[in-house]
Chains A and B, each alone.
Chain A
Amino acid sequence: MLQAHSIFWHYLWVAPNLLLLILAVILWKRGTARQFPAFATFAFLGSVGQVCVYASDMLPSVTPDAYWRIVWGDLILEVILKFALIAEIFGLLFGSYAVVARLGKLLIRGVGVALILAAAVAAAYAPRIELVAIINGANLFDQTIFLVESGVLGFIFLFSFYFRLSWPRQLFGIALGLSISACVHLATWALISNAGLPYFSRLISVFLNMAIYHLCVLIWFYYLLVPKKDAVKPVVSVPEHDLEVWNRELERLIHQ
C-alpha cells in the first residue's frame, strides 16, 4: 500500500486536489469567493496545478526533465498564491483596526525578512542529496517556501492572540488548514532535503505530506461549507461591581 503508484498513492495525490477544485467551484457559486478571493483562486489554480503535475507524472511521453520543469512552474505558482492568501488573511483579520494593522504590517515585514534570511542560510548549508541539480533545487525551494509560510502564519496567530482579536470562523479555518499543512510540510521537506533518507523513509514522508494535505482540505471544507451552530451568543456586559469601581475612579478624575 505504501508504494509509489499504488492505489493509495493515486488517491492521496488526486482526491484532495479534486476536493479542493470542487470547493473552489462551490465558493464561486455561493458568492463566498468574493469574500475570500485569494483563497478561491488558490483553491482553483493550486489544485489545477497539482493535477497537471500528476498528469505529467503519469504520462510516459513526459520526460523526467520536462516533469521537473513542470514541478518548478507549479512551485512558483504556489508561492504567489500562498503569499497572496496570507496577505488576505492578514488584511481581513487586522484591516478594520488601524492601530493594530499599522504595527502588524511593520512587524510582519521584519519577520518576513528574518525568515527569508534564515531560509537562505538553511538552503546554503543543505547537503547535495540528489545528483540532479533541478531536483535538489526543487526540494530546497519547497523547504524555503514552507519555512517562510509557517513562520509568518505563526506570527499572525501570536499577534492576534496578543490583542485577543477574535477570528471570523471561515477565516480561522482557512488559516488553520494552511498552518497545519505548512508546518508538517516544512518538517518533512527538511528531512527529505537534508537527512539523506533511504527510499522507504522518503516515501513515508511523501505519504505523510499527502495525507496531511488531505486533512487540511477537509478542514477547509468544514469551516467554509458547514454552517456555524446557531448558539445564542450572550451579550457580555461590563459587570456591575467593575462599573462601580470605574465610576468611582472616573468621579475622582473628574473632580481633580
Chain B
Amino acid sequence: MTLAIVIIIAAAVCLAVILRLAVSRSLQVSADGKIAGRIQPIDVEAFRNLANPTEDEYLRRSLPAAEFRNVKRKRLRAISAYVQVAGRNATVLVQIGQAALLSSDPRAVEAARQLVEQALLLRRNAAFVLIRIQIALLWPNHGLLVSGVLPGYERLSGCALLLSRLQNPAAPVRISAM
C-alpha cells in the first residue's frame, strides 16, 4: 500500500505541474501585449567589472585570504543576481521573438529567428553559470568563468535592437557609432 501511495502522490504532483504549466501557457498567450514590460535593464559595465578575472586576481593579491574569500562570495552573489536577470530577460526575448516569427516581413522573421536562437543560448548558459556560481561559493579561491553570458547578452541586445528597428522603423535608435 505504501508503494501505491508514493506512486499516486508522484502522479498527482506530475499532473498538477502539467496543468499549472498548461494554464500559464494560456495566460501567456493572452498577455502577449504586456510581455515586453517585464524586461529589466542590466548595467553591463558593472557586470563586466564583477566578472573580470583581473580584478579577482588583484583582490587576491591585496587582501588576506579570509577577507578575500568573504569579498569573493559577495561578488559571486552579485554576479548571480546579474546572471538571473540576464536569464529572465532572455526568456522575455524568446517570447517576443516567437511572436515576431509570425510577421509578414521576411527580414523581421529572420531577425526574430536570430533573436530566439541567441536568447535560448543565453538562457542555457545562464543556467550553467548559476550552477558554477553555487560551486564557486563553496570554493571561492577557485576561479569562476562566466564566459558565455556577457558576450551572449551583448549579442542578444544587438538582435533585439535589429528586430525593434525592423518592427518599428520610426523609433529613434541612437547608436551614433553604427
Residues of chain A at the chain B interface (Cβ within 8 Å): 97-100, 103, 122, 125-126, 143, 146-147, 150-151, 153-154, 157-158, 161-167, 172, 176, 179-180, 183-184, 186-187, 190-191, 193-196, 233-240, 242-247, 249-255
B30 to chain A, nearest CB (A): 9
Nearest to B7 among chain A residues (CB) is A190
Residues of chain B at the chain A interface (Cβ within 8 Å): 1, 3-4, 7-8, 10-12, 14-15, 17-19, 21-22, 24-25, 28-29, 32-33, 35-37, 39, 41-45, 91-92, 94-96, 98-100, 102-103, 116-117, 120-121, 123-124, 127, 154, 157-158, 160-161, 163-164, 167-168, 171, 173-178
Nearest to A189 among chain B residues (CB) is B7
Secondary structure at the B interface, as helix, strand, loop or mixed, is helix
* Of B14, B157, B164, B168, the contact of A250 (CB 8 Å cutoff): B157
Q: Which residues of B contact A143 (CB under 8 A)?
A: 7
- B44, A190: Cβ atoms under 8 Å? no
Complex-state Cα separation, A163 to B173, whole angstroms: 29
With A165-B98, A236-B35 in contact, do A250 and B161 touch (Cβ < 8 Å)? yes
Q: Which residues of B contact A190 (CB under 8 A)?
A: 3-4, 7-8, 11
A201 to chain B, nearest CB (A): 12
Nearest to A172 among chain B residues (CB) is B25
- A164, B124: Cβ atoms under 8 Å? no
* Of A99, A126, A235, the contact of B103 (CB 8 Å cutoff): A235
Nearest to B19 among chain A residues (CB) is A180
- B120, A99: Cβ atoms under 8 Å? yes
B140 to chain A, nearest CB (A): 28
* Of A194, A195, A249, the contact of B42 (CB 8 Å cutoff): A249
- A158, B39: Cβ atoms under 8 Å? no
- A233, B32: Cβ atoms under 8 Å? yes
Using A100-B120, A163-B94, A236-B95 as known contacts, list a sample of 6 further A-B pairs with CB atoms less than 8 Å apart, ordered by residue number in A. Answer: A122-B7, A150-B14, A166-B28, A172-B25, A246-B161, A250-B158
* Of A162, A166, A237, A240, the contact of B95 (CB 8 Å cutoff): A166
* Of A151, A165, A252, the contact of B14 (CB 8 Å cutoff): A151
* Of A99, A187, A239, the contact of B39 (CB 8 Å cutoff): A239
- A247, B95: Cβ atoms under 8 Å? no
Q: Which residues of B contact A164 (CB under 8 A)?
A: 28, 91-92, 94-95
Nearest to A246 among chain B residues (CB) is B157
A95 to chain B, nearest CB (A): 13
With A158-B21, A172-B25, A243-B164 in contact, do A254 and B175 touch (Cβ < 8 Å)? yes
- A236, B32: Cβ atoms under 8 Å? yes
Complex-state Cα separation, A161 to B95, whole angstroms: 11
With A161-B24, A239-B36, A249-B42 in contact, do A194 and B163 touch (Cβ < 8 Å)? no
Q: Which residues of B contact A244 (CB under 8 A)?
A: 174
- B36, A242: Cβ atoms under 8 Å? yes
B45 to chain A, nearest CB (A): 6
With A99-B124, A245-B41 in contact, do A154 and B18 touch (Cβ < 8 Å)? yes
- A99, B174: Cβ atoms under 8 Å? no
- B28, A187: Cβ atoms under 8 Å? no
